[in-house]
Structure 1
Amino acid sequence: MSAAINFYQQRKHIAEKSAHRQLCCLQGSDLWCQQQALSIIEHSALPYRWCGEAPSSITCSDAKSLLGQDVCLLILNMHKTFDANMFAAAEGSVCAGSVIVLLLPEQQSEIDCFSHYMQQQLKRHQFPILLENQSIANTQPHIVTAKPSPLLRQHLDIPEQQLAIHKIIKTVTGHRKRPLVLTANRGRGKSAALGMAAAKLINQGLMKIIVCAPSKQAVTTLYKHAKLTINDANNLQRLQFIAPDALNIEQPACDLLIIDEAAAIPIKLLAQFAQRYSRVVFATTQFGYEGSGRGFALRFLQQLKLISPQYRTFQLEQPVRWAKGDPVEAFTLSSLCLMESTLAMHTLESQQKTQIRVLKKTELLQSGTLLNQIFSLLVNAHYQTKPSDLVALLNDQDLTLIVMQQEDKILAVALVKHEGGLDNITSEQIYQGKRRPVGHLIAQSLTFHSGFELAATQRFARIQRIAVQPDLQQQSFGSQLLNWIVDWATTHAFDHLSASFAGSDYLLRFWLKNQLQVLRIGTRKDKSSGQHSLMVNLPLSQQGEELHHQIQTEFHKQVKVQLSRQLNQLDASLVAILWPQIVVTKSIQNIKQSLSAYINAHRGYENVEYLLIELLHITSLKGLTQQQQRCVIEKIIQNHSWQSIVQTHQFSGQKQAQTFLKNCICDLLTKTTTTEENTQHNETR
């Protein structure tokens, strides 16, 4: 029997005895590692999955495709680089008593800091490593001899699981407008509980349950357990899947709305669903490869409290796929910084000075606590943060990490990506659509989409992430950090300071307040956020100023047309915030006279629409209420149908909507005229 098979059997025995999972780490040449993995597969005779490069005889699996599956033997080939996303997504599919065979290279590249870091973590968590032609490295871990937890049962009968199912059912049978927020770490049976509860409700006669998630793949486990629990397979059609954007547009009626992996859906949409549907379950993974549950809890629950003050929460803590204290789970959450930082900020010491500085990657490698603080804050702040962002944090030489700290506590953090500075030929190829260099988001977009041939030759400092401790937000720490970054970027000869973000009122106000201006709005909604992306920019050099002005001039012309076409679904509140930057205010006297028959008589909207468009393009909307601003933008600028206006603003019908719009225009003309008269009076004094 080979050393590798013997080693695997040891790890398998430990896993089965404790009802945990174990890592079987093999380190050597790629050929040797693959040969040993093949021998383990043959010897174990277990169904297996292989992720990463594999021999031609092996069919590879995509890590995300393993979600919802029970894997008995998992091979992960990390020879090219340690793929954090692959590891985090795949390990959760491995059930109790099973082994993950981890294939590691003999030597890591000197510049691959992340692989060195993960090697350190394997040692810290005391996972032994079998070296090619050598004995086992690392110390054998301490084996818990206490009575093991029972292995995963085919039917979930753990009391906590049954309580979760009861609470889901209570959402339907109890009072209206009391949504349930269900959170759990991976492996706690959250999706299984949702599926079982849905099936039980259908067995009891419920006619229609809608399941919403970022993708159909995300609800594989939910449907699997619903199918196992439902009495009549034909009734499974009552459990209907719908994507978030389709749910928002179609607004189908249902007896219960279940939203799984809610943290990956824009909070604005979740809030609308909470308002629209009276019986809703919001479920999400708290820690896991998605890396977004904590930020979801912080931001969404604040809004949900305003919509449904009597909302309920429940957290699943008991693992059902493995026993408590699983070493692989501990390794994953700790090494990939998916656990909440133990040094979370609560108060700021007023007597102590704060410091802003560039943090070197070597400092992160030397202090796991510091790394965990920083990455935990990034995960809290941004729903799209993934384990691969940790890889970039340690490996990307064009990424600068800037922190605001007080002694050893991190108050705020920013990641600044170095973009542009490309040669003329490359920039021209981007302009022609022949090249799309990785890592140059802003530089590439302004060259290709905005149509400025040599834009990518200039240097852009793109703020990829900026985050402030939750307890310290709304106290100008973000603006202080941003001002420091402006000085830093100027000193380091960048031509621009830029950012790209999913459109939201709060973020747009933040960037505009700090003097960055919008240069582009994406014409398609981002798949992850469900929002249009906005690009903002602050020129820092003379040539940067010239390019910025040219792009901005073209953008203002372009966006006025796009708002009635490609951007006609852009949130009107964003347009209202952006409007002062777009319009060039002029006298409205000529238009006012032409509109008198519309305001004072019965001239129809369709006959004066062109005049109303012209009016809005030269008028500030500050004098109108928020609802009035939204209404005039949606109807006049974005060309929404009357039916849409009636539905959005909850008018009784088209006649009321037309009267409201006419009153908006009347108020706008009156207030604009008063402002013009006051200006003229002051000028003649």
Structure 2
Amino acid sequence: MDLARSLRAEARRSNERRVLVLAGDAPRTRDRAAAALDAAEIPREETTLLGPDEFLGCERHEQARASELLGRTRTAVVLDCHDELRPNALGTAVGAVDGGGLLVLLTPSLEEWPEKRDAFDGTLAVPPFGVDDVSGHFRRRLVETLRAHRGVAVVRVTAEGDTVEKRGLTDPPPRRPTAPPAPPDDAAFRPETYDACLTDDQVAAIRAFETLREVGNAVVVEADRGRGKSSAAGLAAANLALDGRDVLVTAPQYRSAAEVFARAASLFETCDVAFEGDREDAPRELRVAGDGAVDSSGDSEGGGDGRSGGRIRFAKPAAAVELPEDPDVVVVDEAAALPVRRLESLLSAPAVAFTTTVHGYEGAGRGFSVRFRDRLAESDRAVTDVTMTTPIRYADADPVETWAFRALLLDARPPVEQLVADATPETVEYRRLTSADLLADEHLLREVFGLLVLAHYRTEPADLARLLDAPNLSARALTTSDRQSDRDHVVAVALLAQEGDLDAETRATMYEGGRIRGNMVPDVLTTQLRDEAAGVPVGQRVLRIATHAAVRSRGLGSRLLDGVRTEFDDEADWLGVGYGATPELVRFWRRNGFDTVHLSTSRNDTSGEYSAVMLDPRSETGRALAERHAEWFLARVGAVLSDALSDCDPDVVRAALRAVDGAPPLDLSDWEWRLVAGVPGGAAILDTDPAPFRALAVRHLVAPDDPDALTDREERLLVRKVLQARSWDSVTDELGFVSRRQCMRALGGSVERLTRLYGEEWVQEELDRHT
């Protein structure tokens, strides 16, 4: 394989990477892959194979476990695509190849590949659709990028011999040697820290981390993958621990933060500092011996005492937001993959750093840059920003990075603000976008996908394949015209999933606990809420909805939903949505005609929120479904709130209950009314039987006869004490009452007003008797 030898030589000379595509049947392309590695003189111990079968004698993982490569570098990665191509595996494989290395893709004939259906396509074929309904547009577009981009070689492998269709050689100039970055003269961290830096960007990042030695500071480091931000965070964390500080590290998964711990341990060793780890291969806590806890300046300000040893420890986001054991510093790695609400909670730490991938193979959302940065700016933190642009593992001009960004749309963005600034609900056009429309218009695809990235805290390359290929998904958009360019631009987008219309066998499987791909709303209503008929009606679930940041709060999201509602009035039984509930989101969906039918009883591990399921019925069948689940929800919510949902945000509870369609019956016995009427005057106590108080609270919060009868704080008091059965002391502290007695009097006053609002005349007389 002379071509492989030439590609490797060129890659090494320029410190870039190259892609070699071997297209043909599986046995022949696998043979050629082995020959290519030998010709390129890449040892097997420096190679990883991602595929179903071992044929190279090297490290191997299934594509589904490509994440094993995250944070690692390899001279060659061979991605065997004959059985399947997982877009996430492709992104991970690209990111793992070092400068001077090769990515080898083994594919069917490029002409036939888009028409074949593989195992990944099977994951897109959610019932009632089959794999033949999957379109293949993602691979069709991928093939186009392979043929169009620099640095990608294509070889057709057949029984008659090999044909080089594209050589992929770019004749770049040789790599020029660069001087190592100079350490700063006035550094607070140890000099060995800066000796370990490979770029000026890393030096700047670590200088920013030095501010975390003082309370009240925050650092934000943004970079594309492979720029060394996690390494910089690890070097900084080591110094903070050496100064006696307790550093808490969190990330979506531990593997995202593993480099932080690896670099910290390496610096300890370089500095000859004794330390202990809970696990040698992948420690989640590093503890420094007490006599090593002095920084280079001798300064122990901000928590270090110069004597006691510090530590670096990992916690999952759900635990980290509680700031366990009161850390001195929190480091959030891959912050863009966490929801904004969770990031806000971490601002309570004495000092905090956020590192985030701008365009990540692992999946990154832009809620961080679009929404969280506003919250951070409004906080009392002194914020230091750093942007890292220089790659560490390969040259700046690496053509493979350019190809990967385009092929996986890692750099997709909405239109610039000026192009959509004048958009209003009256001037935009509602559009139905097919996957064929998106494939045919790269500009439109980039704007749509760029907005969808903004709509979710985590977006992966596989989401692009779902958008283009999944038969149950479709996109709707609002566009505005640009007269100068004669082009439309996307100002809002919704991604919809068709659900329901399931046959009896599928519904029975779901009811008996079997997992059915897609169909989130029917699945919840069937498996958790025991309604086997919930899979019969046809629905459209809103997976994501996003409005351009420049035109928010103009009603464009509602305008888009109005268009969806009008379009599907005769085609769907219901519109639905399931999402991590916040008060603002619940109110948005309620304003747009969606009614609460369920609150999940466990928090999402990543978002930290309880999920709400809401429906907007569009037919008699849909209304019957929504009405029975609203009735069942009201029947159980009082008991659930005092148990599984006892820690749910009271404003989420208030908003979710106010979004239920219908007024629950308030059918109290005479004895229960006498109990309720006796509480305001102190003749009775709530704990005798909380049930009638819960019924009264639910009745008012769902469908109040007088919405102004209680203040917001009084409604929160109803939720916390009556519905969630929290202790008097905790409710007193949380709601800001000066004493437990004042809190109890406030609840008595609320019960009195509700009793006068909903009780019959004889109940009022009973109330007057005691008050």
Structures share a fold, TM > 0.5?
Answer: yes
Aligned to 1:613: 694
* Distance in 2 (alpha carbons) for counterparts of 1:250 and 1:155: 30
SS in 2 for 1:319: coil
Bigger drift between 73-82 and 473-482 goes to: 73-82
Selected match of 2:380 from 308, 326, 343: 308
Q: How do residues 311-390 of structure 1 correspond to structure 2 at under 5 angstroms?
A: 311-341=383-413, 343-346=415-418, 347-349=420-422, 353-390=427-464
Aligned to 2:49: 50
Aligned to 2:81: 78
1:108 corresponds to 2:106: no
Aligned to 2:489: 409
Cα deviations by residue, 1:53-95 (Å, 9 ceiling, x for unpaired): 2326555232211122121211111223432111112322222
Aligned to 2:131: none
1:579 corresponds to 2:667: no
1:32 corresponds to 2:28: yes
Identity across matched positions, percent: 25
Cα deviations by residue, 1:479-528 (Å, 9 ceiling, x for unpaired): 1111111121123x211111111112222111111111112222222233
Query: How far 1:355 moved relative to its partner?
Result: 1.3
CA contact (8 A) 2:714 2:750 kept: no
1:131 corresponds to 2:204: no
Selected match of 1:451 from 530, 543, 549: 530
Aligned to 1:516: 594
TM-score (norm 2): 0.81
* Distance in 1 (alpha carbons) for counterparts of 2:393 and 2:741: 58
1:537 corresponds to 2:533: no
CA contact (8 A) 1:285 1:293 kept: no
* Distance in 2 (alpha carbons) for counterparts of 1:604 and 1:594: 8
1:474 corresponds to 2:553: yes
CA contact (8 A) 1:586 1:618 kept: yes
SS in 2 for 1:134: strand
1:246 corresponds to 2:287: no
Cα deviations by residue, 1:432-473 (Å, 9 ceiling, x for unpaired): 22x332122212222222222222122111112211111111
Aligned to 2:144: 120
Bigger drift between 35-44 and 74-83 goes to: 35-44
* Distance in 2 (alpha carbons) for counterparts of 1:559 and 1:670: 23
CA contact (8 A) 1:165 1:193 kept: yes
CA contact (8 A) 2:198 2:392 kept: no
Query: How far 1:646 moved relative to its partner?
Result: 5.5
* Distance in 1 (alpha carbons) for counterparts of 2:341 and 2:414: 30
1:287 corresponds to 2:359: yes
Cα deviations by residue, 1:132-176 (Å, 9 ceiling, x for unpaired): 023211364533316546599993242221121111121224xx3
SS in 1 for 2:569: helix
1:427 corresponds to 2:507: yes
Aligned to 1:165: 206
* Distance in 1 (alpha carbons) for counterparts of 2:401 and 2:534: 46
Query: How far 1:294 moved relative to its partner?
Result: 2.3
* Distance in 2 (alpha carbons) for counterparts of 1:32 and 1:658: 82
Aligned to 1:259: 332
* Distance in 1 (alpha carbons) for counterparts of 2:372 and 2:517: 33
* Distance in 2 (alpha carbons) for counterparts of 1:53 and 1:374: 34
Unpaired segments of 5 or more residues in structure 1? Answer: 679-685
The verdict on how the C-alpha distance between 1:151 and 1:402 changes in structure 2, with shifts beyond 3 A counting, is: farther
CA contact (8 A) 2:245 2:329 kept: no
The verdict on how the C-alpha distance between 1:20 and 1:149 changes in structure 2, with shifts beyond 3 A counting, is: farther
* Distance in 2 (alpha carbons) for counterparts of 1:10 and 1:287: 30
1:208 corresponds to 2:246: yes
* Distance in 2 (alpha carbons) for counterparts of 1:647 and 1:105: 65
* Distance in 1 (alpha carbons) for counterparts of 2:655 and 2:329: 36
The verdict on how the C-alpha distance between 1:54 and 1:627 changes in structure 2, with shifts beyond 3 A counting, is: farther
CA contact (8 A) 1:264 1:383 kept: yes
Cα deviations by residue, 1:551-593 (Å, 9 ceiling, x for unpaired): 2211221222211122222222110112234563759998786
SS in 1 for 2:216: coil
* Distance in 1 (alpha carbons) for counterparts of 2:9 and 2:75: 13
Aligned to 1:663: 746
The verdict on how the C-alpha distance between 1:402 and 1:610 changes in structure 2, with shifts beyond 3 A counting, is: closer
CA contact (8 A) 1:152 1:322 kept: no
Q: Which one-letter code corresponds to 1:457 in the other structure?
A: V
SS in 1 for 2:325: coil
Query: How far 1:615 moved relative to its partner?
Result: 3.1
Q: Which one-letter code corresponds to 1:129 in the other structure?
A: V
SS in 2 for 1:179: strand
SS in 2 for 1:313: strand
* Distance in 2 (alpha carbons) for counterparts of 1:286 and 1:293: 8
Cα deviations by residue, 1:580-616 (Å, 9 ceiling, x for unpaired): 3456375999878645664444866534644533431
Aligned to 2:466: 392
* Distance in 2 (alpha carbons) for counterparts of 1:152 and 1:455: 64
Would you say how many aligned residue pairs link Structure 1 and Structure 2?
Answer: 667
1:640 corresponds to 2:726: yes
* Distance in 1 (alpha carbons) for counterparts of 2:379 and 2:681: 40
The verdict on how the C-alpha distance between 1:388 and 1:151 changes in structure 2, with shifts beyond 3 A counting, is: farther
Query: How far 1:293 moved relative to its partner?
Result: 4.2
CA contact (8 A) 2:423 2:480 kept: no
Q: Which one-letter code corresponds to 1:131 in the other structure?
A: R
Bigger drift between 40-49 and 601-610 goes to: 601-610
Q: How do residues 482-561 of structure 1 correspond to structure 2 at under 5 angstroms?
A: 482-491=561-570, 493-561=571-639
The verdict on how the C-alpha distance between 1:155 and 1:103 changes in structure 2, with shifts beyond 3 A counting, is: farther
Bigger drift between 338-347 and 445-454 goes to: 338-347
* Distance in 2 (alpha carbons) for counterparts of 1:251 and 1:651: 26
Query: How far 1:217 moved relative to its partner?
Result: 1.3
Query: How far 1:649 moved relative to its partner?
Result: 4.5
The verdict on how the C-alpha distance between 1:669 and 1:180 changes in structure 2, with shifts beyond 3 A counting, is: farther
* Distance in 1 (alpha carbons) for counterparts of 2:143 and 2:491: 29
The verdict on how the C-alpha distance between 1:293 and 1:514 changes in structure 2, with shifts beyond 3 A counting, is: closer
* Distance in 2 (alpha carbons) for counterparts of 1:36 and 1:658: 81
Q: Which one-letter code corresponds to 1:358 in the other structure?
A: R
Q: Which one-letter code corresponds to 1:159 in the other structure?
A: D
SS in 2 for 1:566: coil
* Distance in 2 (alpha carbons) for counterparts of 1:150 and 1:629: 64
Q: Which one-letter code corresponds to 1:196 in the other structure?
A: L
SS in 1 for 2:600: strand
Cα deviations by residue, 1:169-195 (Å, 9 ceiling, x for unpaired): 21224xx32211221110110100000
The verdict on how the C-alpha distance between 1:629 and 1:309 changes in structure 2, with shifts beyond 3 A counting, is: farther
Selected match of 1:566 from 627, 637, 644: 644
Bigger drift between 119-128 and 420-429 goes to: 420-429
Bigger drift between 469-478 and 150-159 goes to: 150-159
TM-score (norm 1): 0.90
CA contact (8 A) 2:7 2:169 kept: no
* Distance in 2 (alpha carbons) for counterparts of 1:605 and 1:677: 20
* Distance in 2 (alpha carbons) for counterparts of 1:359 and 1:125: 27
* Distance in 2 (alpha carbons) for counterparts of 1:7 and 1:661: 81
1:64 corresponds to 2:67: yes
Q: Which one-letter code corresponds to 2:353 in the other structure?
A: V
Aligned to 2:122: none
- Give the alignment's Cα RMSD to 1 decimal: 2.9
